[in-house]
């Protein structure tokens, strides 16, 4: 069998070992290589491995990179589907093959030393030749490969040739939901191995939370001495157990590391040691004796131009962003990350579930027939993958669990992986979600269950398994959600309901939002490309853009919401201010607590709270007359490695003085004195000279990805009901005292259900007041409405919005914790949330008043008491039709929605829909708003 169609994972490779750096010389082989892409293996050039081969006609390509993102071939996105026939272990004949060549110089000083050629990641299968000698081949794209090259290396010029295949047997094990991208996408190095060099070592650094003692032993492949200056260890034998008093433990909250040196005859290795002990006991996952709560995310490696070839700066940026948003845990979905990422997690503090490079999800579509997980011929490939991950990453304190992979069905190969991991490293529990009975894992893990099921699991009252023994085992395990709250498009909604369960039930140890970042590809015409934009014959559209960060790493509203929901400090403002510590290890001494009093959103007093034993007296507050809120914030008192002093960690608000409701003066003037109305339709056409497409009932929103849904689709129901194409029929225009009353019937074609909308126009001093009354007639059953409110249009020169209400970001019924009451101002353009696939966005909730202005003045809208506000330069229909942000072109109008409410968001793009309490059902409702002209 050809190597690229072989069940064997590789040949000629060294045994897997830890990633480390030492003072042994190394040569960085990253940089510009010669490159040639052939459409098939058969078409690939012969003799390219020959040192004398003429590659002068070839292109150049950066290593590391993916060739599809550097002008060769094209990216392709599928979620579960394999983009080739299920014909394991064979790749298709159309197998793009990239040949790489480069020369490098080896100094004379390397004479007498061995050498190792190390590839950190090559997608998906490669063979390598040095100076014409074949070294071997390897699969396992996101895992390291090393070859011994001491015998073939020579002083002076050397020629390295690498042939990479896009598809291989290994591709069957790499069906992760992401772009298919190929090439040498991680670093390549040549590492000298002086005589007496260290091949591998395994740090065992435990912490006994009862005695406060650390234990330290480093297993080494050759005799080594260990020095940890700070702990008074100098050149002690590494492989003895050293018991150390008064050690400070490592945790994600306080990532205490000790610098150490491991010395052998041949080299000195610098390492950083973190002391911690991970256990599963009493049905809980504990670190250093304490139950931990994961406020996690699933992180794919992603950069909109570089794909999975990340720079260190990007890795660091990810961690800083996580820390700044109260995230404390990462699942490395669904493959081991670049090794540098884990060093940064050790240093900055994150709990890591390190996941193996394994997924066979596409076999689901054939009822798991032929699934490699259950086929012994693949056993060695499975074991090879777990070995390479565990050996590479075993010395990181941040890694507290091994995950076998994702969505690979069940089977004995997975069990074998689990057994191997447990025997090699008894210090870390094993995770795998798709083993439904959790027979070979140490943690019960699920993805996307609804809250009521999580609640049952929290009480250990879940539905029993048929097998009593398996049930007893699973029921005794701690529980995590390895994926929940699908952050695709606008959402996720309903985060706080899960968080509440995590805090109530010790067994529920938190979860990992799916996922960290949108995998949009920067595209010259489309902004960000998603599945289908490269002409793929099979693809899964924008399902690849489902992150808490937009592709350029700007936080989406979902991330801001998550930060608020998981805040590690809970502030409650009552007669006193109560501060509750929700960290697992840290006290609150690193925080300062500030307060601010705002009247109608304007600061009238502020100060610092004196918090003692978790309490602070209410500050003395000056008298105010308008609506007044007290905001208390917990901020970093001093710089931390991940944020500066003053960075906000948590906050809370309390209403100190409610708004005084206006007493409505009798209507002295008629509505026509302030506005012009169309005599036939009764619609407002201008207000004080400002042209207006008068407000009328609106039910539609551009469906979000969560509305469209994966299993349940409220969007389908909406379109079937015709809510995107309602018509308005005038029933009559009349006068009722000083009021102008317009009655309409609003309904879609082909059905007898309707909304009766009554618009009552009156005046109140210089304001034109509108009371909208809505009454559903006919059978609406429990069909939720997209939105219920008014839509109007203003001239396109309106460009700026100021409001008093929730902000600064958007908020929806089930995603509004992060929006605080205040006074905010931004441009219309800034109010748009740039979801990669355009959809409903930008709603500002609980608005008391807003001004919409431009160079010629504008409009003030006051609620009685509040309304929800959306302002945009296109209609909901334009938004609905757009496929990419670049399809949205401003016209000569600005469209304004004033809503009573919108339906919640939910997370049905993958998971449960909107919870009952956030559904907007058709019921009689009303909205009162008053309009007045703002002069230029
Ligand atoms: C789950 C996958 O594990 C993850 O890779 C991703 O595809 C996610 O869903 C959705 O974006 S699998 C899902 C079918 C439950």
Q: What is the pLDDT of residues 22-71, one digit of tens each?
A: 999 999 999 999 999 999 999 999 999 999 999 999 999 999 999 999 99
Pocket test for ligand 1, best of 359, 514, 539 (most atoms within 8 A of CB): 514
* Residue 407 Cα: closest atom of ligand 1: 3
Give catalytic residues, as residue numbers: 407, 483
Residue 641 CA from chain centroid, whole number = 22
Q: Name the closest-CA residue to atom 9, ligand 1.
A: 910
Strand residue runs (E) in 457-537 = 479-484, 508-513, 521-523, 527-529
Cα 332 to middle of ligand 1, angstroms? 14
- Best mutation site among 77, 447, 449 for ligand 1 pocket (most ligand atoms within 8 Å of CB): 447
Which are the contacts of 75, defined by CB distance < 8 A and separation ≥ 6? 66, 68, 69, 179, 180, 181, 307, 521, 529, 534
- Residue 454 Cα to ligand 1 midpoint, Å, equals 18
Atom of ligand 1 lying closest to residue 433 CA: 3
User: 628-636 and 693-698: which strand pairing?
Assistant: unpaired
> Which residues on adjacent β-strands are paired with residue 769?
762, 930
As for ligand 1, residues whose beta carbon falls within 6 Å of it are: 79, 177, 334, 406-407, 447-448, 483, 486, 514, 546, 910
Which residue ranges form the domains of the chain, and what is each CATH number?
3-193 (2.60.120.260), 201-279 (2.60.40.10), 292-565 (3.20.20.80), 569-657 (2.60.40.10), 674-934 (2.70.98.10)
Condensed to tens digits (0 to 9), the pLDDT of residues 629-678 reads: 999 999 999 999 999 999 999 999 999 999 987 766 666 789 999 999 99
The first and second tokens of residue 432, run together, are 């795998």
Atom of ligand 1 nearest to the CA of 176: 5
Closest Cα partner for 885 from 486, 525, 545, 516?
A: 525
Q: Is the pLDDT of residue 324 over 70?
A: yes
644 CA from centroid of ligand 1 (Å): 35
pLDDT band at residue 768 under the 50/70/90 scheme: very high
Mean pLDDT of 487-508: 98
Minimal-distance CA residue to ligand 1 atom 4? 177
Q: What is the 3-state secondary structure (H, E, C) of 634-666?
A: EEECCCECCECCCCEEEEEEEEEECCCCCCCCC
What does the pLDDT read at residue 5?
98
pLDDT tens digit string along 555-568? 999 999 999 999 99
Counting atoms of ligand 1 from 1, which one is nearest the CA of 543? 11
To test the pocket of ligand 1, the residue of 446, 489, 910 to mutate (highest count of ligand atoms within 8 Å of its CB) is 910
**Taking the alpha carbons of 326, 329, 334, 337 in that order, is the dihedral positive or negative?**
positive
Q: What is the mean pLDDT of the chain?
A: 97
| pLDDT in the model for residue 659 | 94
List, in order, residues 6 or more apart from 727 with CB less than 8 Å away. 746, 747, 748, 749
State the distance from the centre of ligand 1 to the C-alpha of 812, rounded, in angstroms.
24
| Res. 435 pLDDT band, cuts 50 70 90 | confident
CB contact set of 96 (below 8 Å; sequence gap of 6+): 37, 38, 39, 40, 73, 165, 166, 167, 182
Q: Which of 359, 483, 912 to mutate to test the pocket of ligand 1 (most atoms within 8 A of CB)?
A: 483
φ, ψ at 734 (rounded to 5°):
-145, 180
Mean pLDDT, range 99-106, rounded to an integer: 98
Our mutation pick for probing the ligand 1 site, out of 77, 78, 177, counting the most ligand atoms within 8 A of Cβ, is: 177
Ligand 1 centre to CA of 177 (Å) is 7
> pLDDT tens digit string along 788-805?
999 999 999 999 999 999
CA 658–ligand 1 middle distance (angstroms): 45
Tell me, in angstroms, the distance from the centre of ligand 1 to residue 708's CA: 16
Going through 448-502 in order, the beta strands assigned E by DSSP cover 479-484
- Write the pLDDT tens digit of every residue in 870-884: 999 999 999 999 999
Residue 796: count other Cβ atoms within 10 Å of its Cβ: 14
pLDDT at 665: 61
Q: What is the pLDDT of residue 668?
A: 73
* Whether pLDDT at 269 is above 80: yes
Write the residue with the smallest CA distance to atom 7 of ligand 1.
177
- Which residue has a Cα nearest atom 6 of ligand 1? 177
Distance 903 CA to ligand 1 centre (A): 25
Q: What are the C-alpha distances in Å from 269 to residues 22, 25, 197, 265?
A: 4, 12, 10, 11
Q: How far is the CA of 561 from the centre of ligand 1 (A)?
A: 22
Ligand 1 atom nearest the C-alpha of 334 is 5
Ligand 1: atom nearest CA of 80 is 7
513 Cα–ligand 1 center, Å = 11
pLDDT at 596: 98
Residue pair 276/252 in contact by the 8 Å Cβ criterion = no
Task: Output the 3-class SS for 859-892.
Answer: EEEEEEEEEEEEEECCCHHHHHHCCCHHHCCCCC
Measured from the CA of 406, which atom of ligand 1 is nearest?
Answer: 3
* DSSP state for residue 171 in the 8-state scheme: G
pLDDT at site 239? 96
pLDDT the model gives residue 669: 86
CA-nearest residue, atom 5 of ligand 1: 177
- 128-172: per-residue pLDDT in tens? 999 999 999 999 999 999 999 999 999 999 999 999 999 999 999
Asked whether residue 482 carries a pLDDT value surpassing 80, the answer given is yes
**pLDDT interval class at 781 (50, 70, 90):** confident
- The pLDDT of residue 663 is 67
pLDDT digits (tens, 9 = 90+) for 669-708: 899 999 999 999 999 999 999 999 999 999 999 999 999 9
Q: Over range 248-263, report the average pLDDT.
A: 98
Query: Going by CA atoms, what residue is nearest to atom 10 of ligand 1?
Result: 910
Residue nearest to atom 14 of ligand 1 (CA): 910
CA atoms within 13 A on the CB side of 758: 15
Annotate 575-606 with DSSP letters as a single string. SEEEEEE--SS--STTEEEEEEEEETTEEEEE
> Residue of the nearest CA to atom 12 in ligand 1?
407
- Give the pLDDT confidence of 568-626 residue by residue, as tens digits: 999 999 999 999 999 999 999 999 999 999 999 999 999 999 999 999 999 999 999 99
Mean pLDDT of 179-194: 98
Q: What is the pLDDT of residue 661?
A: 78
Residue 837 has pLDDT above 80, yes or no: yes
341 neighbors 387 (Cβ within 8 angstroms): no
Task: Work out which ligand 1 atom sits closest to the CA atom of 546.
Answer: 11
pLDDT of residue 666: 61
Beta strands 225-228 and 133-139: pairing type?
A: unpaired
């Amino acid at each position: 069998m050809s190597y690229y169609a072989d069940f064997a994972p590789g040949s000629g490779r060294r045994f897997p070992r830890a990633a480390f750096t030492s003072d042994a010389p190394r040569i960085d082989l990253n940089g510009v290589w010669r490159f040639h892409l052939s459409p098939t293996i058969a078409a690939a050039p012969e003799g390219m491995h020959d040192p004398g081969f003429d590659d002068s006609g070839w292109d150049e390509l950066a290593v590391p990179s993916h060739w599809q993102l550097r002008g060769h071939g094209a990216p392709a996105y599928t979620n579960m589907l394999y983009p080739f026939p299920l014909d394991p272990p064979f790749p298709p004949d159309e197998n793009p093959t990239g040949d790489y060549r480069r020369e490098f110089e080896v100094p004379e000083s390397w004479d007498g030393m061995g050498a190792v050629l190390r590839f950190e990641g090559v997608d998906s299968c490669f063979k390598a030749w040095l100076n014409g000698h074949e070294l071997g081949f390897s699969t396992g794209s996101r895992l390291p490969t090393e070859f011994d090259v001491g015998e073939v290396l020579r002083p002076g010029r050397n020629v390295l040739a690498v042939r990479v295949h896009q598809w291989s047997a290994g591709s069957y094990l790499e069906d992760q939901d992401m772009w298919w991208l190929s090439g040498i996408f991680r670093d390549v190095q040549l590492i000298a191995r002086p005589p007496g060099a260290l091949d591998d070592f395994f740090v065992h650094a435990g912490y006994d939370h009862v005695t406060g003692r650390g234990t330290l032993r480093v297993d080494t492949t050759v005799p080594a001495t260990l020095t940890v200056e700070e702990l008074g260890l100098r050149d002690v034998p590494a492989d003895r157990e050293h018991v150390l008093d008064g050690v400070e433990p490592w945790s994600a909250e306080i990532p205490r590391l000790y610098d150490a040196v491991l010395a052998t005859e041949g080299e000195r290795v610098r390492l950083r040691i973190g002391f911690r002990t991970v256990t599963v006991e009493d049905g809980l996952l504990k670190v250093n004796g304490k139950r931990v709560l994961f406020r996690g995310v699933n992180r794919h490696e992603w950069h909109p131009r570089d794909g999975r070839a990340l720079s260190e700066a990007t890795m660091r940026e990810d961690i800083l962003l996580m820390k700044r948003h109260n995230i404390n845990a990462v699942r490395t979905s669904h493959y081991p990350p670049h090794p540098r990422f884990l060093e940064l997690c050790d240093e900055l503090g994150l709990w890591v579930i390190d996941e193996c490079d394994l997924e066979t999800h596409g076999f689901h579509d054939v009822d798991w027939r032929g699934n490699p997980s259950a086929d012994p011929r693949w056993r060695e490939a499975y074991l090879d993958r777990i070995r390479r991950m565990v050996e590479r990453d075993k010395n990181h304190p941040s890694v507290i669990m091994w995950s076998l992979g994702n969505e690979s069905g069940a089977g004995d190969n997975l069990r074998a992986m689990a057994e191997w991991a447990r025997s090699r490293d008894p210090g870390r529990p094993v995770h795998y979600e798709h083993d439904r009975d959790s027979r070979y894992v140490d943690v019960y893990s699920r993805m996307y269950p609804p809250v009521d099921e999580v609640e049952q699991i929290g009480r250990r009252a879940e539905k029993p398994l048929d097998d009593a023994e398996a049930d007893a085992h699973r029921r005794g395990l701690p529980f995590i959600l390895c994926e929940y709250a699908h952050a695709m498009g606008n959402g996720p909604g309903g985060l706080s309901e899960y968080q509440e369960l995590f805090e109530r039930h010790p067994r529920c140890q938190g979860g990992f939002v799916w996922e960290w970042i949108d995998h949009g590809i920067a595209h010259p015409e489309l902004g960000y490309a998603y599945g289908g934009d490269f002409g793929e014959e099979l693809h899964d559209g924008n399902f690849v853009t489902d992150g808490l960060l937009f592709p350029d790493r700007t936080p989406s509203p979902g991330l801001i919401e998550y930060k608020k929901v998981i805040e590690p400090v809970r502030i409650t403002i009552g007669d006193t201010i109560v501060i509750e510590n929700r960290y697992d290890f840290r006290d609150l001494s690193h925080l300062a607590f500030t307060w601010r009093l705002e009247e109608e959103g304007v600061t009238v007093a502020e100060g610092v709270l004196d918090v003692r034993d978790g309490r602070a007296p209410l500050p003395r507050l000056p008298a105010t007359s308008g609506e007044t809120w007290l905001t208390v914030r917990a901020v970093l008192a001093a710089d931390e490695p991940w944020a500066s002093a003053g960075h906000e960690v948590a906050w809370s608000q309390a209403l100190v003085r409610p708004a005084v409701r206006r007493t409505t003066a009798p209507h002295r003037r008629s509505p026509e004195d302030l506005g012009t109305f169309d005599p036939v339709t009764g619609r407002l056409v201008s207000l004080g000279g400002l042209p207006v497409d008068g407000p009328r009932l609106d039910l539609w929103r551009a469906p979000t990805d969560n509305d469209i849904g994966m299993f349940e689709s409220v969007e389908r129901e909406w379109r079937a009901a015709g809510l995107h194409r309602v018509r308005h029929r005038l029933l009559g225009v009349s006068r009722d005292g000083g009021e102008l009353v317009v009655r309409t019937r609003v309904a879609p074609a082909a059905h007898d259900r309707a909304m009766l909308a009554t618009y009552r126009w009156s005046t109140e001093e210089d304001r034109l007041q509108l009371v909208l009354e809505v009454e559903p007639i006919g059978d609406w059953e429990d069909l939720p409405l997209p939105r219920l409110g008014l839509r109007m249009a203003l001239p396109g020169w309106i460009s700026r919005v100021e409001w008093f209400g929730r902000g600064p970001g958007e908020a929806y019924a089930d995603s509004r914790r992060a929006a605080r009451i205040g006074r905010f101002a931004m441009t219309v353009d800034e109010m748009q949330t740039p979801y990669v696939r355009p959809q409903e966005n930008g709603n500002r909730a609980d608005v008391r008043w807003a001004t919409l202005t431009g160079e010629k003045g504008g409009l003030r809208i006051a609620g009685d008491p509040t309304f929800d506000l959306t302002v945009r330069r296109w209609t909901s229909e334009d938004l609905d039709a757009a496929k990419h942000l670049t399809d949205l072109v401003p016209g000569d109008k600005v469209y304004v929605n004033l809503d009573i409410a919108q339906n919640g968001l939910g997370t049905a793009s993958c998971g449960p829909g909107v919870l009952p309490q956030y559904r907007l059902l058709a019921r009689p409702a009303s909205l009162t708003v008053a309009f007045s002209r703002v002069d230029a």
